[in-house]
Amino acid sequence: MASPYWSAPGVAQGRIRPTEAIPDHGFWDFCLGYDSEEPAEFMLTVGETIKLEQAYNFSPMDFVNFCWTMRTPSELPRAAVLVNAGTVRFADGSLFDTGDGCRGPVLPTSCFLAADTDQLLLISGSTNPTNNGTFRIGAIGGTIVPATKHVAPMFDRCVLENADMVAGTEYAVTVKLLGARWRAQVYVNDILRVELIEPANHETMRRFLKLHVSQVVGPATMSFRLTLESVTP
């Protein structure tokens, strides 16, 4: 799959000796991903992996020590069950106002965040098959809760892109927001040794890890991988 990641290889991404982010922590052997504290210009899709492989001739040793510091993007899509076998009204062309042409579900409570725009919504349980499926959220709107600005406002409906809705109220519909997370792994000869998943918005920290390779002697390949994977709540 063509990926924006490869649109400008070597520019602020996947570089040996990164210098842009976290410069005060010392010397870094390499960076997988985006070497900057600024929001990345590049968007990856679920299933894509950034990988660095190192062939190495192992002499007798027990561990390979290393440190990992992982910075997750602040806008990582969240995974959440918005409605669990509950009542959902589907609108086909009159989502906000009569004849506005928008299609999408209206939830019983306001639980869409503005940040959910452009994320994926999984709808199941509708008696109309065309209402079920995975859709991209084009816009968020509707009833705002709370009324004040002290808490992030939440909305009760969204516009779904390329949806073919059948209007009506259904009573056992499940609506899930599909999320994503970054998984870092190290393989030795394609055998998983270490993996790490940092929660989104978690404080960036340096982790001290080890590869157990006490029985590896001779040529082997170490593979450091950073994979974007989907999370279904």
Partner 1 sequence: MSVIRTQVAGLYTDNLVDVVVSSGLHLINTIPQDDETAVSVVQTVNLQVVHSNNQAIDNTARVYIEDPVGTWTLAYNEAAGGFQAGFTGTATRKSSPGAAALDELWIALNRTVPWGSLRVIGVRVVAASGGDTLDSTYNFVVEDIEPATITECLWLSPRRCRIRFSESMNTSADLHGTLFHRYFGGGVEVKGSNELYIADPLEEAWEGSYLDLQGSVYPTNCQSKLITDVEVTVALVPTGKVLIDTTELEADSGVDYNSAGKVVRRRALRATIGAYRLQPRLDLEGAGETPYVEERVQCAFAPLVKAVSLPDACDIPSGDTVSQYVVIDFEDDVSLGRWYELHAYNVEDASGNNAAHLSLELQTPMFGCPANRQQLWKFFPGSVQEEDLTDELQLRKMSVVLQDLLNVMWLRADGLDKVLDAWQCPEQLIDHLLYTLGNPFRFPVPTVKQKRRLAEALPELYSGTGIARRVEDATLQTNCIAGMIKFFLGINAVIRPHWPGDTWVLGNCYLGASEGDWPGQQTILGTSSAYLRNSYDVDVSPVILTAEEQRIVRDICTWADPANMHLARIIMGTPDPGAVWILGSAGFSEVGLTTNLG
List the interface residues with partner 1, window 90-119 (CB under 8 A): 118-119
Count CA within 13 A, CB hemisphere, residue 33.
21
CB of 105 to partner 1, least distance (A): 15
CB atoms within 10 A of CB 167: 14
- 6 makes contact with partner 1 (CB under 8 A): no
Q: Looking at the DSSP assignment, which residues form a beta bridge with residue 180?
A: 230
- 202 makes contact with partner 1 (CB under 8 A): yes
Q: Which stretch binds partner 1 (CB under 8 A): 82-90, 94-102, 107-115, 217-225?
A: 217-225
Q: Which of 131, 135, 140, 223 binds partner 1 (CB under 8 A)?
A: 135
Q: Find where tokens 């974007």 sit.
A: 228
Q: Which of 87, 130, 134, 169 binds partner 1 (CB under 8 A)?
A: 134
Rounded CA-CA distance 124/73 in Å is 29
Q: Which of 100, 210, 219, 233 binds partner 1 (CB under 8 A)?
A: 210
Q: Which of 49, 69, 110, 124 binds partner 1 (CB under 8 A)?
A: 69
- 10 makes contact with partner 1 (CB under 8 A): no
CA angle 168–170–175, rounded 5-degree value:
115
- 171 makes contact with partner 1 (CB under 8 A): no
Our CB check for partner 1 shows the closer of 42 and 96 to be 42
Contact between 31 and 195 under an 8 Å Cβ cutoff? The reply is: no
CB atoms within 10 A of CB 105: 27
Q: Is 121 left (phi over 0), alpha (psi -120 to 50) or beta?
A: beta
Q: Which stretch binds partner 1 (CB under 8 A): 60-68, 86-94, 95-103, 123-131?
A: 60-68
Contact between 132 and 168 under an 8 Å Cβ cutoff? The reply is: no
Our CB check for partner 1 shows the closer of 169 and 207 to be 207
Contact between 149 and 174 under an 8 Å Cβ cutoff? The reply is: no
Q: Which stretch binds partner 1 (CB under 8 A): 86-94, 106-114, 168-176, 225-233?
A: 225-233
Rounded CA-CA distance 25/34 in Å is 17
Q: Which stretch binds partner 1 (CB under 8 A): 14-22, 81-89, 94-102, 165-173?
A: 14-22
Q: Which of 11, 130, 191, 233 binds partner 1 (CB under 8 A)?
A: 191
